[in-house]
Amino acid sequence: MNHFQYRNGILHAEDVAIARIAAEVGTPFYCYSTATLERHYTVFRDALAAAGLDATVCFACKANPNVAVIRTLADLGAGADVVSEGELRQALAAGVPPARIVFSGVGKTRRELEFAVAKGILQINVESEPELELLSEVASARGVRMPVSIRVNPDVDAGTHAKITTGKKENKFGIEWTRAREVYALARRLPGVEVVGVACHIGSQLTELEPFRDAFLRVRDLVAMLRADGIDIRRLDLGGGLGVPYEHETPPSPAAYAETIRATLGDLGCRVIVEPGRLLVGNAGILVAEVIRVKEGTTRTFLIVDAAMNDLMRPALYDAHHAIFPVIEPAADAPRAEVDVVGPVCETGDTFAKQRPLPPVKAGELLAFGTAGAYGAAMSSTYNTRPLVPEVLVRGGEFAVVRARPGFEEMRALESLPGWFDRES
């Protein structure tokens, strides 16, 4: 469920007309719904509680690192799962307590580890022996022992897109399942780390529960072995990955997901950490664009819009599907014609949809791209020297720009000419 609905023939975000935002902010822009964010978080949190789990929900900030989005979730009690110093700083700026922040990621630098240790976050999910040894060195220099979970790669096929699966042995993430015990033994000997748990994350946009169940059972077996080795495992970081409907998918409900955790791991007496990202923010956001022109080609019709692949990368990167619909509600019996919806970037890959049946749309009219709240603005760039698009947050009948569109002079101010150009002129 989301809070983007037609009212009197105009698409609204909660109580705000999308056309009004477009008139004041300009297109393209991202629009997020506070009510949808709140609903998705509370449904997920309550499902875990109903299953009797001692669970902490840490929002995966990589899905949408906007500080206002993070703050909205933090005010409901969410923690944060971060994968860079920048995301950690965003979470702290949004008011997430350090005791609810987990630092994941395969390539943490010394500087990032020093910053995380200094802030006293809940735990660091370690993904390799060199990282473990570096973290121990960093923490020891500060006279502390840093709580860690070691991320284990269970070699489970998540059945999702190859570019977003993370739990197979050929993926770069985590410690290979068969080597986990020896790495835990190393961690136990290091002076600057305190082993508190096991971490596992097998991928994103999962639409079946079976891969989760397979991975959780392997985690269960590992916990038994580690406890037999005398290691006190008291936290289980299970990652995220539960999918959302982009097209015809029917992902499991949060209640079914929570029951899978309870059935496989609920009797271990561990605190459970889960890290949903897309599930919380995907359907809470849309991208709004204006049609620049309709171009009639030899074999097809193109709707050229002012959003592009640099603004919403997922279709070009993953062949991802996003619903596309006019901001002005079409008549129920309006004819549909197959069109290619494309952007202005000089790449054939700058295509949002091919041969998509849409009602008649003219130049100057607005289109919305659905389920764009996750990995939309987060993955955007300035390719073709296009400014990053604004992000807007709606709450009830009001809205605010929570990331402004930079001007060209602001973009150019980040660049400079070397002195030799002046010397040679």
Note the pLDDT tens digit of each residue in 122-172.
999 999 999 999 999 999 999 999 999 999 988 765 444 443 344 344 544
HEC string of the chain?
A: CCCEEEECCEEEECCEEHHHHHHHHCCCEEEEEHHHHHHHHHHHHHHHHHCCCCEEEEEEHHHCCCHHHHHHHHCCCCEEEECCHHHHHHHHHCCCCHHHEEECCCCCCHHHHHHHHHHCCCEEEECCHHHHHHHHHHHHHCCCCEEEEEEEECCCCCCCCHHHECCCCCCCCCEEHHHHHHHHHHHHHCCCEEEEEEECCCECCECCCHHHHHHHHHHHHHHHHHHHCCCCCCEEECCCCECCCCCCCCCCCHHHHHHHHHHHHCCCCCEEEECCCHHHHHHHEEEEEEEEEEEECCCCEEEEECCCCCCCCHHHHHCCCCCEEECECCCCCCCCEEEEEECCCCCCCCEEEEEEEECCCCCCCEEEECCCCCCCHHHCCCHHHCCCCCEEEEECCEEEEEECCCCHHHHHCCCCCCCHHHHHC
Do 82 and 23 have their domain in common? no
Which CATH number covers residue 401? Answer: 2.40.37.10
Percent of the chain with pLDDT strictly greater than 90? 88
- Residue 169 is predicted with a pLDDT of 45
pLDDT band with cut points at 50, 70 and 90 for residue 248: confident
Do 138 and 224 have their domain in common? yes
Q: Please report, for residues 13, 65, 123, 184, 237, the alpha-carbon distance to residue 225 in angstroms, rounded to integers and kept in the order given.
A: 51, 37, 22, 11, 17
- Residue 355 is predicted with a pLDDT of 97
- Residue 156 is predicted with a pLDDT of 65
Do 21 and 99 have their domain in common? no
- Residue 174 is predicted with a pLDDT of 67
Position 351 in a domain? yes
Choose the final residue of a domain: 232, 253, 277.
277
Query: Is the predicted pLDDT of residue 12 greater than 70, yes or no?
Result: yes
- Residue 351 is predicted with a pLDDT of 98
pLDDT tens per residue, range 269-283: 999 999 999 999 999
Do 72 and 143 have their domain in common? yes
Specify the pTM: 0.94
pLDDT tens per residue, range 263-319: 999 999 999 999 999 999 999 999 999 999 999 989 999 999 999 999 999 999 989
More confident residue, 245 or 116: 116
Cβ–Cβ < 8 Å for 412, 374:
no
Give exposure, 397-412, as e/b (b: 16+ Cβ within 10 Å).
eebeebbeebeeeeee
Choose the final residue of a domain: 277, 310, 328.
277
Position 173 in a domain? yes
How far apart, in whole angstroms, are the C-alpha atoms of residue 124 and residue 147? Answer: 7
Q: Which residues are catalytic, by number?
A: 346
How far apart, in whole angstroms, are the C-alpha atoms of residue 87 and residue 62? Answer: 7
Domain of residue 116 covers 34-277
More confident residue, 178 or 61: 61
Q: Region 221-250: what's the mean pLDDT?
A: 93
* Domains identified in the chain, total number: 2
Which CATH number covers residue 62? Answer: 3.20.20.10
pLDDT tens per residue, range 60-82: 999 999 999 999 999 999 999 99
Q: Region 199-225: what's the mean pLDDT?
A: 91
Do 241 and 320 have their domain in common? no
Position 15 in a domain? yes
The conformational region for residue 384 under phi > 0 = left, psi -120 to 50 = alpha, else beta, is left
- Residue 155 is predicted with a pLDDT of 73
Q: Please report, for residues 75, 169, 188, 309, 355, the alpha-carbon distance to residue 321 in angstroms, rounded to integers and kept in the order given.
A: 32, 28, 46, 13, 12
Residue 257 makes CB contacts below 8 A (sequence gap 6+) with 47, 209, 212, 242
Closest-CA residue to 237 (of 47, 49, 60): 60
- Residue 205 is predicted with a pLDDT of 86
Q: Region 309-338: what's the mean pLDDT?
A: 96
Half-sphere exposure for 383 (CA within 13 Å, toward CB): 17
Position 419 in a domain? no
Do 260 and 272 have their domain in common? yes
Do 220 and 120 have their domain in common? yes
Position 417 in a domain? no
- 107 burial (CB, 10 Å; 0-12 / 13-18 / 19+) is exposed
Choose the final residue of a domain: 277, 293, 312.
277
Q: Region 119-124: what's the mean pLDDT?
A: 98
Position 424 in a domain? no
- Residue 425 is predicted with a pLDDT of 62
pLDDT band with cut points at 50, 70 and 90 for residue 360: very high
Do 187 and 315 have their domain in common? no
Do 82 and 120 have their domain in common? yes
Q: Region 219-232: what's the mean pLDDT?
A: 95
Structure tokens, 50: 């109903």
Query: Is the predicted pLDDT of residue 423 greater than 90, yes or no?
Result: no
pLDDT tens per residue, range 20-52: 999 999 999 999 999 999 999 999 999 999 999
Do 178 and 287 have their domain in common? no
Cβ–Cβ < 8 Å for 215, 261:
no
Position 420 in a domain? no
Do 372 and 397 have their domain in common? yes
Residue 195 makes CB contacts below 8 A (sequence gap 6+) with 148, 149, 150, 184, 187, 188, 231, 232, 233
Do 260 and 167 have their domain in common? yes
pLDDT band with cut points at 50, 70 and 90 for residue 237: very high
Position 423 in a domain? no
How far apart, in whole angstroms, are the C-alpha atoms of residue 411 and residue 379? Answer: 18
How high does pLDDT run on average in the chain? 93
